[in-house]
């Protein structure tokens, strides 16, 4: 048996769109896994069927684990999981590790790392890229912030769910890079949305627009998943919510402010998402930004599927 699999006991908190697939791969590849259940029982029942164990509090997850992974919305949730009543700090043992796979504020990450270090506990940031499909397949991208020795310890576990792992630097650098990565992708989304609205306004339909961009120099994987909503009405092509996108862009704004750098394009991108976030609904995904940008300009870009207009 792999010595890492034998020696490490894994905890997991956050069985959402990404977390369920990640946890599934950890337990399927031989690790002992204790997870925190949630109201949606489907992920929990699936993991129990694969041999994982369920805990009722974050403290109990910590007590059963040597490495605890967190995959939630952002820093506010991570802080509550660690510091709150029944939280990880109450159950973590000296020598254990917390790995935050959320897209978090680097200022919070560095503060949590220092707080846990004083207790003999290490903190790693390992945010993700790609979609729930890759999470289930175990082929996510991970950008990891950790000292070299700590990275070497957690890497075998991350390899169970990531196909591409980049050790970006020290603690906090993973979350810094994730915000930069999301700035680029969400900037694309804002540009595509505005371009599609303008194209429709001047008489160029989304399929005609796509016929030029697709397979040209401006094509990319993000463009292809983004366009599946507008072209095909596929609401699940890119399951990342506008609410999370807006949150990430506020973190980027905070990082830029702390660094003392002007970030006008970041702010413009954030404002594109702010309007869609304010009008809802909460479950709308990033590709639906195109529909929103069109609507505020009096343009109908709501896609068709099976001969029917879709709704957000």
The closest of 214, 230, 236, 218 to 292, measured between CA atoms, is 230
pLDDT score of 1: 46
What is the rounded CA–CA span in Å between residue 7 and residue 109? 26
pLDDT score of 140? 98
Residues 117 and 7 in one domain: yes
Same domain for 122 and 221: no
DSSP for 76-114? HHHHHHHHSTT-GGGTPPTT-EEEE-S---HHHHHHHHH
Total number of domains in the chain? 2
Tokens standing for 130?
């790609």
Percent of the chain with pLDDT over 90: 90
Same domain, 163 and 180: no
Please tell me whether residues 127 and 262 are part of one structural domain.
no
- The residues that bridge with 309 in the sheet, in sequence order, are 304
Task: Pick the closest to residue 278 from 264, 296, 265 (CA basis).
Answer: 296
Is residue 248 located within the same domain as residue 123?
no
User: Are 137 and 28 within one domain?
Assistant: yes
CATH number at residue 131: 3.40.50.720
User: Which of 144, 170, 196 is the last residue in one of the domains?
Assistant: 170
User: What b/e readout covers 74-113, taking b as 16+ CB neighbours within 10 angstroms?
Assistant: bbebbbebbeeeebbbbbbeeebbbbbbbbbbbebbbebb
* pLDDT, tens digit (0-9, with 9 covering 90-100), for 22-77: 999 999 999 999 999 888 899 999 999 999 999 999 999 999 999 999 999 999 99
182 and 298 inside one domain: yes
Least confident of 173-182, 196-205, 237-246: 237-246
pLDDT band at residue 307 under the 50/70/90 scheme: confident
Residues 246 and 205 reside in one and the same domain: yes
Same domain, 219 and 160: no
pLDDT in tens, 254-295: 999 999 999 999 999 999 999 999 988 878 999 999 999 999
Residue that finishes a domain, picked among 110, 138, 170: 170
State the pLDDT at residue 121. Answer: 98
Catalytic residue positions, numbered: 178
| Average pLDDT of the chain, as a whole number | 95
Do 206 and 86 share a domain, yes or no? no
Say yes or no: 122 and 258 in one domain.
Answer: no
Tens digit of pLDDT for each residue in 148-189?
999 999 999 999 999 999 999 999 999 999 999 999 999 999
Q: Provide the domain limits for residue 272.
A: 176-309
What CATH number does residue 195 fall under?
1.10.1040.10
Residues 153, 13 share a domain: yes
d(CA 177, CA 141): 12
- What is the tens place of the pLDDT at every residue in 119-138? 999 999 999 999 899 999 99
What pTM was computed for the model? Answer: 0.92
Picking from 143, 170, 197, the residue at the C-terminal end of a domain is 170
């Amino acid at each position: 048996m792999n010595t890492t699999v034998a020696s490490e006991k894994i905890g997991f908190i956050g069985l959402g769109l990404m977390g369920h697939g990640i946890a599934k791969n950890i337990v399927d590849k031989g690790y002992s896994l204790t997870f925190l259940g949630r109201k949606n029982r489907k992920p929990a029942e699936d993991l129990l069927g694969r041999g994982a164990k369920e805990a009722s509090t974050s403290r109990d997850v910590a007590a059963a684990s040597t490495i605890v992974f967190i995959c939630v919305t952002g820093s506010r949730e991570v802080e509550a999981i660690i510091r709150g009543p029944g939280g990880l700090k109450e159950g973590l043992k000296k020598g254990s590790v917390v790995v935050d796979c959320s897209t978090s504020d680097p200022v919070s990450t560095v503060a949590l790392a220092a707080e846990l270090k004083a207790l003999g506990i290490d903190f790693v940031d390992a945010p993700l890229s790609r979609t729930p499909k890759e999470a289930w397949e175990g082929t996510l991208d991970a950008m990891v912030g950790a000292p070299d020795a700590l990275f070497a310890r957690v890497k075998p576990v991350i390899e169970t769910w990531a196909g591409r792992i980049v050790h970006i630097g020290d603690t906090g650098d993973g979350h810094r890079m994730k915000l930069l990565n999301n700035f680029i992708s969400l900037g694309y989304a804002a540009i595509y949305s505005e371009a599609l609205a303008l194209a429709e306004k001047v008489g160029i339909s989304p399929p005609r627009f796509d016929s030029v961009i697709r397979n040209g120099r401006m094509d990319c994987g993000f463009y292809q998943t983004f366009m599946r909503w507008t072209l095909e009405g596929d609401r699940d092509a890119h399951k990342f919510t506008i609410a999370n996108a807006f949150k990430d862009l506020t973190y980027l704004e905070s990082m830029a402010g702390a660094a003392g750098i002007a970030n006008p394009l970041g702010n413009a991108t954030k404002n594109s998402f702010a309007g869609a976030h304010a009008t809802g609904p909460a479950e709308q995904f990033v590709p639906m930004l195109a529909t929103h940008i069109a609507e505020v300009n009096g343009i109908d870009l709501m896609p068709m599927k099976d001969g029917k207009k879709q709704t957000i």
